[in-house]
Copies of this chain bind each other. A is one copy, B any other.
Amino acid sequence: MQENAIIRAVTSIDVARAAGVSQSAVSRAFSPGSSISARTKQKVLAAAASLGYRPNRIPAIMLSGRSYMVGVVIGGLENPFYATALERLATALQESGLQVLLMHVDDALTLDSALDRLVSYRIDAIVTSLAIGSKSVVQALSQLRLPVVCFNSSHVGPWISTVNSNNHGAGLVAAHLLGQRGVQRPLWLAGPVRNSASRARGKGFCQGLRVAGLAPALTRMQGNDTYDSGYDAIACLRKQGIRPDGIFSSNDMMACGAIDALRECMDLQCPRDVVIMGYDNIPQAAWRSYDLTSFDQHTEHMVARAMELLDEALGTKDSPLSRTYIVDAQLIERGSTGSGQ
Cβ–Cβ contact B58 & A121, under 8 A: yes
Task: Decide if A176 is an interface residue (CB 8 Å cutoff).
Answer: no
Count of chain A residues with Cβ under 8 Å from any Cβ of B? 60
Q: Which residues of B contact A62 (CB under 8 A)?
A: 58-59, 62
A116 → B minimal CB distance (Å):
7
Cβ–Cβ contact A57 & B120, under 8 A: yes
Given A58-B58, A283-B227, A318-B7, also A87-B104 (CB < 8 A) = yes
Binding site for B on A (CB under 8 A): 4, 6-9, 52, 54-59, 61-62, 65, 67, 69, 72, 77-78, 80, 83-84, 86-87, 90-91, 94, 99-104, 106, 114, 116-117, 119-122, 143, 145, 227, 231, 256-257, 259-261, 263-264, 283-284, 287-290, 318
CA distance A263 to B263 in the complex (A): 16
Q: Which residues of B contact A83 (CB under 8 A)?
A: 77-78, 80, 83
A300 → B minimal CB distance (Å):
14
Q: List 11 A-B contacts (CB under 8 A).
A: A7-B318, A9-B65, A56-B122, A57-B122, A58-B62, A59-B62, A78-B83, A78-B87, A78-B283, A87-B104, A264-B288
Cβ–Cβ contact A318 & B256, under 8 A: no
Contact of A86 among B77, B101, B121 (CB under 8 A): B77
Contact of A100 among B94, B101, B283 (CB under 8 A): B101
Contact of A58 among B52, B67, B84, B257 (CB under 8 A): B67
Cβ–Cβ contact B99 & A100, under 8 A: no
Q: Which residues of B contact A55 (CB under 8 A)?
A: 120
Given A62-B62, A99-B101, A102-B102, also A288-B78 (CB < 8 A) = no
Contact of A287 among B57, B260, B288, B318 (CB under 8 A): B260
Q: Which residues of B contact A7 (CB under 8 A)?
A: 318
CA distance A329 to B131 in the complex (A): 35
Cβ–Cβ contact A260 & B288, under 8 A: yes
Cβ–Cβ contact B104 & A54, under 8 A: no
